[in-house]
Structure 1
């Protein structure tokens, strides 16, 4: 698509391309006419000057490939000193090799990497090493560098999906927002849940005083959050290997939920405190791994990719006597309905009763 002039005196028409199918109209302007601010787009829509296929349009309308956008003339703007473009430093050969070694799937629309623990997804204050900074190495034969479409916590390892085209990015974003994408995690947790297969339905909110860095259960003001878990194996009463599936996408959801039911993820000191660390040679790193991602593919069919465990997780599994083969044999069924409300309440009641008994026993032992 040719770049429109910032001072074009004429009405222009543009045909929506395949890569823009499904995006919002205001995003189309940001992508193709960056000099046109949201305020201008909203004004055009309000006055009826902005039209799609001859009909009045609003900034939030979703576009379909082949539609024709009528764009009114842009008013002349005063020249402003151009901001210096921030150039990304070139990657070293070692960085390129490191990034490409993470790739476990690649096709014309998508890349899936197996993110190691300790590598952030995006940069931030005092965070200089991150996936976003390595994306130039993963461009390969595409026209542009791939785009992040979801995130994993810095200390969470596993499958991370990247979109290779604008069309794929919009398609995957819609899948994540519509909750049709399925993510399966493996985790080692402290203790053993009394219910083998349960649904945690506890609203979460940012914990005051943490700068948004930590979540907590907030029944009054929290956002709905639901996670399903299933126990795969147990090491006596010391620890359990569980399979987790988030049905919502709250920050630190799985970590906060498992800690809330009394079984923090091994190595997660933020939510489990000292109780989250096991002795006997078990690594102090966090044991939460995005094992599998399953999502509709923009070109049809399903994208279904599994990521191998990192070394520390695999070694802890061996120390605790867990058999990795059992995990794939007991994957969560994406199409199976979660337990009913009545079942959830009965399980929660039974679990709460067990926890109270254990606490009474612990107090009795302390008195003794």
Structure 2
């Protein structure tokens, strides 16, 4: 049995919280555990849609191997690769560059968080009581900038700023197909198919669907491909990938929403999508974080950027 004491500044669905803690579970196994009365929230069986909040207690009556937990003689992150590409760091937060193919978190031996923990450990700066925590996520196949908070106040500041669209996130990507028009702001509604791990984009609102807004601008074209700069106005699961695919321009290398024949032909293992820029607002009310006002962070342009400009990737 595992007992969890919820630490979350904002209410979150029970299923989402448990899958973040135990990614190995999967939604199917999670539903089965609930049916078998193996999940209790504050001592009672509750629907997975119930929102949990700070201070709640969850008990999960499953074996460690079912939860993806394995015994270890030392910190689990020591099995990860050494170091992490930290773009910026202060006493409250970190801006980190995630490589494509590396999960941000989960049971895998090598994740972004474990790389960060290992770097801190190697520099004698690791404190298990003050581990940096993720404030947003990137898909495994997406590269680029991720924000980590080093304390509860920073986590609240960053998650609130992201939720209220105060932090601007700009991406670079390559699409299989040239979008028409070459620049536009797309509006739609997104629904999740949790069973199959995909999302769907609708033109009209529907119960349970969330509004999505994605702005793109074509930087260059090369044969069948287009290099885009994308501003993520709303931040939903798989939003850029699904939204561009919905207009017939899926991201190159995307095996879930894209053209797999083209992906194989052009030898793209991961989606050509990079979280290239993060820009903080010019004014920040909280004086503790006022030094972040107006700061903008970039990662180096991904490998496909110059190849599209040169016409060598077509």
- TM-score using structure 1 length: 0.57
Aligned match of 1:216? 200
1:232 paired to 2:219: yes
Q: CA deviation at 1:192?
A: 1.1
Structure 2: where are the runs of 5+ without partners? Answer: 1-8, 12-40, 44-51, 55-70
Name whichever structure is richer in helix by fraction.
1
User: Given that residues 222 and 309 in structure 2 are in contact (C-alpha distance below 8 angstroms), is that contact kept between their aligned partners in structure 1?
Assistant: no
Deviation sequence 1:109-155 (CA, Å, 0-9, x none): 2211110010011215xx44322333422546475221110000000
User: Given that residues 186 and 291 in structure 1 are in contact (C-alpha distance below 8 angstroms), is that contact kept between their aligned partners in structure 2?
Assistant: yes
Q: CA deviation at 1:250?
A: 1.1
- Give the distance between the partners of 1:90 and 1:211, measured in 2 at CA: 33
139-148 vs 180-189, which moves further = 139-148
- Give the distance between the partners of 1:188 and 1:174, measured in 2 at CA: 30
3-state SS in 2 of match to 1:224:
strand
| Cα distance change of structure 1 residues 142 and 181 upon mapping to structure 2, 3 Å threshold | farther
Question: Alignment RMSD, CA only?
Answer: 3.6
Aligned match of 1:295? 280
Deviation sequence 1:177-218 (CA, Å, 0-9, x none): 1111110000000121121221111101113xx615111123
3-state SS in 2 of match to 1:216:
strand
Aligned match of 1:133? 114
3-state SS in 2 of match to 1:202:
strand
3-state SS in 2 of match to 1:217:
strand
Residues 317-356 of structure 1: pairs in structure 2 closer than 5 A: 317=308, 320=311
| Cα distance change of structure 1 residues 276 and 149 upon mapping to structure 2, 3 Å threshold | farther
| Counterpart among 244, 249, 255 of residue 241 in structure 2 | 255
- Give the distance between the partners of 2:150 and 2:184, measured in 1 at CA: 36
Residues 114-193 of structure 1: pairs in structure 2 closer than 5 A: 114-123=97-106, 127-139=108-120, 141=125, 144-193=130-179
Q: CA deviation at 1:166?
A: 1.7
| Cα distance change of structure 1 residues 200 and 275 upon mapping to structure 2, 3 Å threshold | farther
Q: CA deviation at 1:285?
A: 2.8
- Give the distance between the partners of 2:235 and 2:74, measured in 1 at CA: 32
3-state SS in 1 of match to 2:178:
coil
- Give the distance between the partners of 1:315 and 1:283, measured in 2 at CA: 16
Structure 1: where are the runs of 5+ without partners? Answer: 1-22, 26-37, 41-58, 62-85, 323-368
| Cα distance change of structure 1 residues 267 and 111 upon mapping to structure 2, 3 Å threshold | same
Aligned match of 2:91? 108
User: Given that residues 216 and 256 in structure 1 are in contact (C-alpha distance below 8 angstroms), is that contact kept between their aligned partners in structure 2?
Assistant: yes
- TM-score using structure 2 length: 0.66
Q: CA deviation at 1:321?
A: 5.1
3-state SS in 1 of match to 2:216:
strand
User: Given that residues 78 and 114 in structure 2 are in contact (C-alpha distance below 8 angstroms), is that contact kept between their aligned partners in structure 1?
Assistant: no
- Give the distance between the partners of 1:234 and 1:117, measured in 2 at CA: 23
